[in-house]
Amino acid sequence: MCSVLMPRAPLRRVAVTGGTHGNELSGVYLVRHWLQDPSELQRPSFSTTPVLANPAAAAACRRYVDCDLNRAFTCTLLLSRATPDDPYEVTRARELDQLLGPKASGSDQAFDFVLDLHNTTANMGTCLIVNGSHNIFAMHLSHHLKLQFPEVPCRVFLHQPLQSAAPESNTLDSVAKNGMTVELGPQPQGVLRADVFSRMRALVASALDFMELFNQGTAFPAFEMEVYRNLGSEDFPRTEDGDLAGIVHPQLQASVADYEPLQPGAPIFQKFSGEDVRYEGHATVYPIFINEAAYYEKHVAFLRTEKLVISVPPLPALPPPLRVSNPSGTTGPVFPSEQGS
């Protein structure tokens, strides 16, 4: 069972990462700008560090050089002995783990929060990706962002599959104490769209404002929120040799946006022979990442989700800091969770 993620001390170090995939240009160019002028990221109570996650892939405007960086943050890869033959992204994952983590130790050295910025070619709009509903802080942050931008649909995707033993997270934000992914689309790979760029910039600013409110002692009440929970993926029809045998059905592709209900028996693929392939599930699902360009190699035509309304408990105000004396005789604030055992 996942432990509840609810910080009991102020956030002190936050990272905003872009270019985890080098051809998702909103995050690449925002981080490049912030590396030159980070002033808009700073808040009174904590520091924010911009990080270009995959500089080699960003320089080449490719998703990755050797392998997907955002699947390389398992403890097995991070702790394995380095060799000269390691893929570039595995080496880079270890570097990021040292910078933002380390993940395996669970020590206080890790950054308090990582906000990882991504684009998708799918018609996803604004999608906030959280590991699970147990992440109370990220759920409240998502709710805050939804309230700040009511004119734009902002959906929350719980990416951990529904099963008794959730797999270890292998994404960049997992190296920190907590984190979340911002996924905006549609935007083609290697392209920069002004509306998507501006929306991402505004979302980051609002997320940092929420963290500042939390640090200043704001309490956030309980609420109910609609979310989409991962049920797994659907692959394209394939030949015996594993090649594509069909494409996403025009009826599914023509949906106004992802997250539209898919009923059992509805067409999902059209074979090159002209034959329709229909959804064989027994319940309504809500497809997302439909026809995402980067997922062809992963044998994913779309992800199936279920739509839920969940109750999120309140996020209490931080307790007032204790005043303790140090050996020099001066006093300073220490939050209860920061005290030694």
User: pLDDT of 186-205, one tens digit each?
Assistant: 999 999 999 999 999 999 99
Active-site entry in 95, 151, 168, 183: 183
Cα–Cα distance for residue pair 52/19, rounded to 1 Å: 6
CA 137, chain centre distance (Å): 14
Catalytic residue check, 292:
no
pLDDT in tens, 243-273: 999 999 999 998 667 999 999 999 999 999 9
Lowest mean pLDDT among 63-77, 162-176, 218-232, 283-297: 162-176
User: Binding site for Zn(2+): which residues?
Assistant: 21, 24, 118
pLDDT confidence bin for 319, thresholds 50/70/90: confident
Handedness of CA 305, 299, 142, 194 (dihedral sign): negative
Q: Which two tokens stand for residue 91?
A: 């080496």
H-run or E-run covering 323: strand 322-325
Name the pTM for this structure: 0.91
SS3 292: coil
Do β-strands 113-119 and 154-158 pair in parallel, antiparallel, or remain unpaired? unpaired
Q: Which two tokens stand for residue 322?
A: 């204790």
Q: How many residues does the chain have?
A: 341
Phi, psi of 150 (to 5 degrees): -65, -20
Residue 274: the pLDDT is: 95
Mean pLDDT of the chain: 91
46 within 8 A of 215, measured Cβ to Cβ: yes
